[in-house]
A and B are shown apart, each in its own frame.
Chain A
Amino acid sequence: MVRSKPKVGRKARMKQGPVPTLDEFYQGILDPRKAAQQKNNESESRKRKRENRGASVKSKKEKAVFEKTKSDLFEEEEQEHLEEDKKVAGEDDFYEFGDEEEQSDIDEEEVDDGNENESDEVYDSEDENERGRAMFSDDEGDEDLLEAANQQGLANVFKGDSEDEDPAEGEEDEFVNSDDDFKQGEEEDVEINVDSRVTNVLPSGQEVEAPSNVPPDIHISRTRIQEILNVLDDFIKYGEAGRSRSDYVAQLIADIANYYGYTEFLAGKLFELFSPREAIEFFESNEVPRPITIRTNTLKTRRRNLAQALVNRGVNLKPIGNWTKVGLQIFDSQVPIGATPEYLAGHYIIQAASSFLPVIALAPQENERVLDMAAAPGGKTTYISALMKNTGCVFANDANKARTKSLIANIHRLGCTNTVVCNYDAKQFPHVIGGFDRVLLDAPCSGTGVIAKDPSVKTSRNEKDYIDLPFLQKQLLLAAIDSVDANSKTGGYIVYSTCSVTVDENEAVVDYALRKRTDVKLVETGLEFGVPGFTSFRGKEFNQRLSLTRRYYPHTYNVDGFFVAKFKKMKVVEQKPNGTSKA
């Protein structure tokens, strides 16, 4: 079921039997024919070879993508692509041994072909225009992917997980399985050579040079990831003499980049956030789409009525969780969920569960004036409007004129009568109109929290993005703070959120704002769950109150990666002699 779907192809391959140890792999690479002859079980080895072939074709392409990104030679992209294709074709001929055997196993072949085509598509769809485009958490993802996620979610429910509503559990299960597979293989290995784990994990000097003419093998990477993880678990015990921990980590990052298809830069950046094992969980969960969720429009209907109406149309759903009274998770549907009469009548909007969070944190009250600085496509704006029961006034701003179209469409469809839509660069905001009771800034970001939704992030982000985007975010956050009326009776709050998980775009930006504007402080977000933000990170010390911010990861809560911080602007403004406080 899951195999034919995109994005899980690699995962499906993972499930094929126990993972061979590194030794077996190296042997197989050096002389596949000989290795095959040695095996008693012909079919077993054949399967593995085919995997190798598929994997190397794939990894070769990924390598091409890396090189291209690094050198920034975009005008040569097409040409490179053609050349790569030719090379790959040649490679195919070279690996095409045992043809007569393949006839017997057509199903296998089809699956592999499907995967190869799929990887082709991924490569082709790499659009240069996509580069540098900031991500927004509300962008609608591919519905097919969501479908797959829902089916998986449903499968989890049928497995009996209905008690615990977190589908991440299924994810963990698989993880444990693959781990077990590995351990089985390892145990055999241990019987033969107790020290094998220690001696063979890192490639020797010669092997490090090898990749220049031989493409890195994806299965070697996968096996080595597991082995290095084991070593890192207890480095003193398993670490090889003369090798430092950073050698292992560097190799691990290189393998992650190779196996999951990230640039090494981004893989390293994301790896830094977690312990090694948790990092792998994070990367794994980025390969699985999040479930499709909808938000009830309380201006027009109630969740119970909506659920009933959708169930009558053949939709399988359940509430997202205890933390929201308006969210529903869709498992599967006989009708397109974005075109039912209820949808068109504005009874609900398709919205990721994670994008409920900043609005819940903002907690807008009736008769307030609220600003949403980067509003399109309007999921959060309409939620704010609904929470305020169409009283007061909501300013919905978006800098991109084309995106205001979907914003206006959603506002009208959901019947939000208290909105003003404008098309400013949000940095101008205190000058256009200020004195808001609350401001929501869902900043444009690199989208590292929504890689499952948009895998192009894996290869399109570089060092420059992590200079430019935080710079923009800092400007926007200061503008947001300045737009708030500190003397507001009910409000005076600012919520900053991104759909990215990197520290540069989150804690660093918040810390900067706290240093620049002394009249704001961080307060509790009012969210029931989430990991506390970092107070220090790789030598950088942040404000201690940053532990009040909340982080969300796909592998812990099965929502998109997200960050939420809530500020309160204080009434008394102490004018500092150096004039760093509010102008």
Chain B
Amino acid sequence: MRPLTEDETKTVFEKLANYIGRNITHLINRPDDPHCFRLQKDRVYYVRESVMRFATSVGRPELMSLGICLGKFTKTGKFRLHITSLEFLAQYARYKIWIKSNGEMSYLYGNNVLKAHVGKMSDDIPEHSGVVVFAMNDIPMGFGVTAKSTADARRLDPTGVVAFRQSDIGEYLREEDTLFT
């Protein structure tokens, strides 16, 4: 376990900013409850500082997880967000799409968001920007990138793709073997 280097921090923050924009400051500056980012075996964890201090007692080979895992660095140095980061993405999301109950299962099985399934979406989403997907009852379901801007999406036919899926909570079942260590 170690703090992120400058390059790593930049990569992670750029990725996060795709989804939560300037709200990223809410993650970093929490004077009442300071949190920090820590790297452990390629994975980046977002954790309360007090918890992190206790975790320093645990040896590197034995430490399996602390706080919430945001994602992992790939071998090529890119950073990939995991579904486990959804809690924070959903909290501070800049652009949101809500899907109707008939599209829930389709999305949870790993499909893209179709026009027919969109219940509502934020007004001013540009093309190819990060978006968090919610169910109509505001349960966060995953995140992805938009295929069309909000204006273009209005003119789309019902089978057209509004947003490409990047991650969904169905992965807790589908990817259990690879997602966590």
Contacts and interface: CB of A to CB of B under 8 A. Distances in A.
Q: Do A and B bind each other?
A: yes
A302 to B, nearest CB: 13
Contacts of A422: 58, 62-64
Nearest to A412: B84
A424 interface: yes
B170 A344 contact: yes
A342 B141 CA distance: 10
B48 A406 contact: no
B62 A424 contact: yes
A344 B173 contact: yes
Given A341-B139, A420-B58, A432-B58, A408 B48 contact: no
B91 to A, nearest CB: 11
B167 to A, nearest CB: 12
Contacts of B84: 412
A418 B64 contact: no
Interface residues of B, number: 37
A200 B121 CA distance: 81
A406 B176 contact: yes
Interface string B164-181: 000001101100110111
B67 A419 contact: yes
B51 A423 contact: no
Given A420-B58, A422-B62, A341 B50 contact: no
Interface string A38-76: 000000000000000000000000000000000000000
Give the interface SS of chain B, mostly helix, strand, loop or mixed. mixed
A421 B66 contact: yes
B176 A412 contact: no
Given A339-B173, A393-B51, A422-B58, A345 B67 contact: no
A78 to B, nearest CB: 30
A344 B169 CA distance: 6
Interface in A394-420: 395, 401, 404-409, 411-413, 415, 417-420
A405 B61 CA distance: 15
A417 B67 contact: yes
Given A344-B170, A417-B68, A420-B66, A409 B179 contact: yes
Contacts of A344: 108, 169-170, 172-173
Interface in B53-73: 54-55, 57-59, 61-69
Interface in A99-156: none
B133 to A, nearest CB: 12
B47 interface: yes
A369 interface: yes
Contact of B68 (A345, A412, A432): A412
B139 A421 contact: no
Contacts of A407: 64
B144 interface: no
B172 A404 contact: no
B63 A420 contact: yes
B104 interface: yes
Given A345-B139, A408-B181, A433 B66 contact: no
A408 B173 contact: no
A341 to B, nearest CB: 5
Nearest to B50: A393
Contacts of A420: 51, 54-55, 58, 63, 65-67
A341 B135 contact: yes
A409 B176 contact: yes
A296 to B, nearest CB: 14
A342 B140 CA distance: 10
Contacts of A433: 54, 57-58
Interface in A322-353: 338-339, 341-342, 344-345, 347
Contacts of A413: 169, 172
A433 to B, nearest CB: 4
A341 B48 contact: no
Given A341-B108, A405-B181, A420-B55, A411 B173 contact: no
A345 B140 contact: yes
B30 to A, nearest CB: 12
A309 B136 CA distance: 12
Contacts of B141: 341, 345
B87 interface: yes
Contacts of B62: 422-424, 432
A487 to B, nearest CB: 18
Interface of B: 47-48, 50-51, 54-55, 57-59, 61-69, 84, 87, 104-105, 108, 135, 137, 139-141, 169-170, 172-173, 176-177, 179-181
Given A406-B176, A407-B64, 20 more contacts: A339-B173, A341-B169, A342-B139, A344-B169, A344-B170, A345-B139, A345-B169, A404-B181, A408-B180, A412-B69, A415-B68, A417-B47, A417-B51, A417-B67, A419-B51, A420-B51, A421-B65, A422-B63, A432-B57, A432-B62
15 contacts: A338-B173, A339-B173, A341-B105, A341-B135, A341-B139, A393-B54, A404-B65, A413-B172, A417-B47, A419-B67, A420-B55, A422-B63, A423-B63, A433-B54, A433-B58
